[in-house]
Chain A
């Protein structure tokens, strides 16, 4: 049922034609978008070439179910946007996928390798790196040192090897050259000897992304890369994210700005109250009633009177009774939100 369909040639061509943002550069190959074009817009749909597969992952904090994802696949080489209202479980899902948190149940894998029992650094060594919602620049290290930390397989990081500089000096020189290249790309090369703590918020976001790239990742998970960044810098960050896709990396990012999501995502996953409530290409999302309800509440025009609220609650309960399963839960979260403004 869930189409393992190959991308149709015509679709691939039109996909490439749609997004030409750099006239001089070769037309971006939005292979993932083309590959995903024919998939049905339903939750848990199988992707032609999944890099990450999540199965039955749940995480509860006391009585609160923060994440409960039945099945989710992330297409390799594409940009997958993860959106949802505050508290939807996006960051928790990130933490679970990267080993920073342990789920109560479930399995998840990267390239067919289970990530279930791995510590964060082991996940990173497999090529899945992440950034953080609250930027983690290493303040009292210089920008260049921040970058060098990102390089993998450094011989000089062993205790005894570190005492013999000849063992690691050549590697260090190579890493420094690579770091300078990346810094140049991210326009931070002039700052290389400044403490990272003196950078502005936006520059720290750039540094964190550049640092993650030092590890030659296969999957980059960006937690709100654009939050608190001015519009001009947002454009440049967006350009960098698109470049990652061009280089064949899989990008998963959390974002609240729908324009950004529409602009760069090949596929969008919407979470609410810990569940995936919708997924599909970006243009499908704004038409999805469940998404609109999750974001705005089912009734969002005017403050409710007590009588109206009772009526809405009754309707919602009736709806829940009517539609069982995942849809019921969506409405539940919708009714929960109605109470918020008061």
Chain B
């Protein structure tokens, strides 16, 4: 029983930790891109990587203050969005998908490469950039707190507090935007671009605004990830995170303001809870060694997530928050 409670606590901590915030912010950005506007961005993690390295490089290599590092990261995300959008947003949706997936993989390899190592430290990781952030912590960052049965050190708690505040602000921004006439244009673009053009709306400009906005939100997620881990390695920004963010978005419900938030919390909870719950069961012999071993658990939990997603798509294709009528219209 205590083991079960420990597993719950461990799941709870993961669901509120910086990784959940990272995935959540990626998904909030993707919700803007894909959920509301229909832009297929398969390289959201590239924006996150630029956000993280923006801080890291500016602070450690260029000796700039932490606040300027944030601006560098956000600026880099804006530039990437413009570079990706300028050639592809006039074309069909597939071209943006190809360009973004290539950019994400290409940028990661570039940041890892020998040429970029003087700036990015390549595979050796960049660290020592988060001092300016930890200094702002209103409590003692080395103290340990107990919250919901889990142990948090003060620094993690500070990252999570700031992270969830950013998530809340981004959700508020999304809510304000999508209920306005701007949001109506954007959702109409998702339905049919040509119809929107024929009604005198500048589709290209709106798509570009969305791409930049979603990219900037993704960059914020990348910064939280960098601050949470305390080090920056291009391999921490594998494109698998983009797809995890899509899973989160579909789980929570696309084109719903809180969909990605709830999705991220649930997904991270399940991944961490199954891990923490299965290990003691195997060690105590409840699950026989021949059926499942401890090293298998790490992989099995993602299998479980996959099964969960499949079941969700069969029984509740709209996700947790979505509107079934709305999703069913697509079948026509």
Residues in chain A within 8 A of chain B (CB atoms)? 98, 100, 119-122, 124-125, 129-132, 136-141, 145-146, 148-150, 152, 154-159, 161-163, 165, 168, 172, 195, 197-198, 208, 211-212, 214-215
Contact = CB atoms under 8 A, between A and B. Distances in A.
Contact of B326 (A130, A136, A138, A195): A195
Interface residues of B, number: 31
Given A138-B195, A165-B180, A198-B329, A121 B209 contact: no
B202 A121 contact: yes
Contact of A129 (B176, B177, B183, B198): B198
Contacts of B184: 141, 145, 148-149
Given A140-B329, A149-B196, A163 B202 contact: no
A221 to B, nearest CB: 9
B200 A215 contact: yes
10 contacts: A132-B194, A138-B192, A139-B332, A140-B187, A140-B191, A141-B191, A146-B188, A148-B181, A149-B199, A195-B329
B191 A124 contact: no
Interface of B: 173, 176-177, 180-185, 187-188, 190-192, 194-203, 209, 213, 325-326, 329-330, 332
Nearest to B200: A124
Given A148-B184, A162-B180, A162-B183, A157 B200 contact: no
Given A149-B196, A159-B209, A163-B176, A197 B332 contact: yes
A137 B199 CA distance: 12
Contact of B199 (A145, A156, A161, A212): A212
A296 B67 CA distance: 75
B195 A157 contact: no
Contacts of B200: 121-122, 124-125, 129, 152, 215
Contact of A211 (B183, B199, B209): B199
A136 B189 CA distance: 12
Contact of A162 (B182, B190, B196, B197): B182
A121 B188 contact: no
B84 to A, nearest CB: 18
Contact of A157 (B191, B194, B198, B201): B201
A278 to B, nearest CB: 29
Nearest to A198: B329
A132 B200 CA distance: 15
Nearest to B187: A141
B171 to A, nearest CB: 14
Contacts of A121: 197, 199-203
Among all A-B residue pairs, the 10 with the closest Cβ atoms: A156-B181, A124-B200, A162-B182, A162-B180, A136-B195, A197-B329, A138-B191, A120-B197, A125-B200, A136-B192
A139 B325 CA distance: 11
A172 B183 CA distance: 13
A132 B181 contact: no
B86 to A, nearest CB: 15
Contacts of A195: 325-326, 329
A10 B122 CA distance: 88
Nearest to A158: B182
A159 B195 CA distance: 20
Nearest to B213: A159
A130 B196 CA distance: 11
Contacts of A215: 199-200
Contacts of A198: 325, 329
B173 to A, nearest CB: 8
Nearest to A171: B181
B191 A168 contact: no
Contacts of B173: 163
